[in-house]
Structure 1
Amino acid sequence: MAYNRPWQSFREQLELLKSRGMVVTDEAAALDCLARMGYYRLSAYWYPFRQFELVQNSKTGKISTKAMDALHPDTQFVDAVRLYLFDKQLRLYLADALERIEISLRVDLSYLLGKRSSFAHVENTKAHFHPGFANRPFRKGSQQSCFDAWLVKYRGLVARSKEDFVRHYHDNHGDELPIWVAVEVLDFGAISQLFSMLNVKDQLAIANRYGVNDWQVFKSWIFSLSYLRNLVAHHSRLWNRNITSKPKLPKRGEIPWCDSFIGNEDTRFKPFLLLAITRMLVKAICPNTQWHNRLAEHLNQFPEQNSSKKLDLNGMGITQDWREWW
C-alpha cells in the first residue's frame, strides 16, 4: 500500500492530537516536547490512552481489538510526557545495573577460559566448548555453526574497535588478543553467545556464582538480559512492552522470588521479570548495593494520570507480592 500521510509541522501535530481529544493545558510546553522528543516517540506513551473497539474479520470471523484515534476522556498531553520521563529514568537505572553485570561476566569468562588457554575464545576444542553447543547450526537451515557465527561477530567487534588498548596490543604483541583483553571489546550479545557454547560444568560454575543452580535457566537469563540491554541502549520504550525473549524459570522453591512468576504466563512476557533477574544478579555482584532500593523507589513513584483511563505497574507485569521479596 502507498504511504499517504503528509509531513506536519509541530503545530499541526498538536492540533491533530487536540482533534482526537487530547487535553493540552500548556501549548508552549507541548510544542517544546514535540520538538525535543518527537511525535512518533511520544505516541507510544499516549497509545495506552487510546480507545479500542472490537472488530470482526469478515473472512475468518475472528474477533480482535483495534485502536481508534480517539482518546479516553480527560487524557492530557502531560500524561504521556510523565510516562515518557518515568520510562527514561527506568532505562537509566537499568543501564547502571546492566553495566555491572556485563563487566562481571567478562571477568568470569576471561578468568575461567584464560586459565586453560590465552586464546581459548578462538579455539573450538572440547576443552573449552561443548561440541553440541558450539557446532550446532547458528540458525535453522544455516550451514554456519554457532562458533563460526561467534567468531565472525568477535572479529567484527575487534576490527571496529577504536580503543587505544587494542591498537597498542596489535602494535606490540600481534594480531590475536588474549581473552582477558578480548572480553573488553565484547558487547552483551557476544558475551551471551560465548557463554552459551561453554561446557555444562563451566556454565554451571558461573551460574552458581550468582546463586543459580540450573545452567539452562542462567543461560536464558543472560540471553534475555542481552535483549534488555539492546532496548536500553537504543532508548526503546520499556515499561509496558511485551518482551520477545522469555526467560526460563527454576523449579518451584529453588529461588523463592521466582515462584511468584511460575504458572503466571502474563508476567513471563513483561519486563518486570527482567528487572527482577537484574536485581538478583546485581546483588550477587555487589552484596551491599542499594540499586534495588533505588529502583523500588522509582517504581513506587509511577506517575498518576488525569485521564479517565488509569494505568499502573500492572502494565509491566509486576507481581502483587513484589514488595515482600524485592
Structure 2
Amino acid sequence: MTPAPKPWKSFEEQLALLMKRGLQVDDREAAMSYLERIGYYRLSGYWYSFRQLVLEQDDNGRVTHCRSNTFIEGSHFRDIVQLCVFDKRLRLLALDALERIEMALRVDIAHLLGEQDIHAHENPQCLHGHFSKKVQKKSYAKGRTWHQVWLSKYEDHLHRARREPFVVHYLNKYGRLPIWVAIEVWDFGMMSKLYAGMKSADQDQIATKYGAQNGRTLAEWLRSLNFIRNVSAHHSRLWNINVLERSAPLTDDAFWQALDNARPFFYFCLMQKLMRIICPNSTWGQRFQSLMEEFPQAQAGAVSLRDSGLMEDWQSWELWQQG
C-alpha cells in the first residue's frame, strides 16, 4: 500500500518541526531566512549526518543501522548552514580545476585528430570501430552507433550556439566547423565521450602527457571527473557524496593505494595530478588545502573530513607539496 504523500508545510512549520526533533536554533530569524532561500529539502542533505543512528530490524530479522528523525544532541542549525557554505566553496573549487582540465583536453583532442582530418569528429574512419561502426542494442541508442548518438548531441549543441558569431561565420562560409572550432560547443561530457571513442593509439598519445597508464585509464578519469563536474554544476552536495562513476584505484605510491575511489577526495587528487601538468604554477592546490582547514567544526561531532575520503597525513604527500 502506497503511503500518503507528505503534506505541505509553511516555513514556520518546517522550523518548528526541526526544533521538535532536537535541532538547536540559536538565531530564529537567520534560520527562517536560510529555509526561505535554500529550501528544506536541499538543507536536509546536510543535516542527514546530524540525525541519530539507530538499529532497525526487518521482517527477516536482519538488523541494520538507519537514521532516525531525531537529531544528535548538540546539533545546531548554524553547523548545517556552515557545512552547506563549505560545500558550495568546494564545488566552485572543483569547477575551477575542471574548466582548465576540459579546455586543455579539448585542445589535445582537436590538435591530434585535426591533423588526420579537419572534420575528424564527424568522420567514423578517424575513430575506434567499436565507437563509430558497431550498432548498439540499448534502447536509448535506437539502433545507432555511439558515434551517431554523439553526433546527435553535437547537433543539439550546435543548434543552441547557432547565433554565436563564430558559428555563424563558419557555417555561412564553410558549411561545417573544423574540429578546433567545434570543440567550443562541446561540454565536458561530450569531450570525454569522444576521447573514449578515439583509436587506442591516439588515446595513449594523449594519456602519456597526463601520466595515465594508458588511454583507457584517462578515459575513466574523464568519465569520473564529468560526474564530479555535473554534481558541482547542478549545485548538488559534493563533500561526502558516494561517487557513482568510479575510476580504478591507482597504485603509484602508498598514498594513492590508501585512497577510497568511492569518495570525493580521490577525484580531487586526480584534479591536482592533472593541474600540476596543465597549470604547474597554479595556486589551486594551496586553495584546496586552505579550504580543508576551514571545514566546520560541528559541536555534535557528527561530521568529519574523513567522510570525504581525506587521509590524516595527506598534506605530507608529494602530490600536494608546493614547488
Give the TM-score taking structure 2 as reference length. Answer: 0.92
| Counterpart in the other structure of 1:132 | 130
Contact in 2 for aligned 1:217/1:249 (Cα 8 Å): no
Amino acid at match of 1:135: K
Query: Alpha carbons of 1:77 and 1:104: their partners in 2 closer, same or farther (altered >3 Å)?
Result: same
How much has 1:145 moved relative to structure 2? 1.8
| Counterpart in the other structure of 1:268 | 261
1:294 aligns with 2:294: no
Contact in 2 for aligned 1:113/1:120 (Cα 8 Å): yes
1:279 aligns with 2:277: no
**Consecutive unaligned residues in structure 2, runs of 5 or more:** none
Distance 1:304 1:107 in 2: 42
How much has 1:192 moved relative to structure 2? 0.8
Distance 1:150 1:196 in 2: 11
Query: Alpha carbons of 1:67 and 1:310: their partners in 2 closer, same or farther (altered >3 Å)?
Result: closer
How much has 1:65 moved relative to structure 2? 2.2
How much has 1:276 moved relative to structure 2? 0.6
How much has 1:35 moved relative to structure 2? 1.0
1:222 aligns with 2:199: no
Q: Mean Cα displacement is larger for which, 207-216 or 275-284?
A: 207-216
Contact in 1 for aligned 2:51/2:68 (Cα 8 Å): yes
| Counterpart in the other structure of 1:56 | 57
Amino acid at match of 1:99: E
Match of 1:320, SS? Answer: coil
| Counterpart in the other structure of 1:28 | 29
Q: How does 1:117-196 map to 2 (within 5 A)?
A: 117-125=117-125, 128-136=126-134, 140=138, 143-161=143-161, 162-174=163-175, 176-196=176-196
How much has 1:62 moved relative to structure 2? 2.7
Q: Matched residues, percent identical?
A: 39
Amino acid at match of 1:324: S
Distance 1:29 1:245 in 2: 37
How much has 1:282 moved relative to structure 2? 1.1
Distance 2:135 2:265 in 1: 32
| Counterpart in the other structure of 2:239 | 239
* Cα displacement string for residues 112-166 of structure 1 (whole angstroms, at most 9, x for unaligned residues): 11111110000101xx212134334557575322111111111111112243321
Amino acid at match of 2:315: R
Contact in 2 for aligned 1:138/1:149 (Cα 8 Å): no
Q: How does 1:313-324 map to 2 (within 5 A)?
A: 313-324=305-316
Distance 2:256 2:66 in 1: 34
Distance 1:236 1:197 in 2: 29
Amino acid at match of 1:283: R
* Cα displacement string for residues 167-225 of structure 1 (whole angstroms, at most 9, x for unaligned residues): 22222321x21101100000010001100011111111111111223222111000101
Q: Mean Cα displacement is larger for which, 292-301 or 154-163?
A: 154-163
How much has 1:3 moved relative to structure 2? 4.2
Contact in 1 for aligned 2:49/2:302 (Cα 8 Å): no
| Counterpart in the other structure of 2:68 | 68
Distance 1:16 1:139 in 2: 49
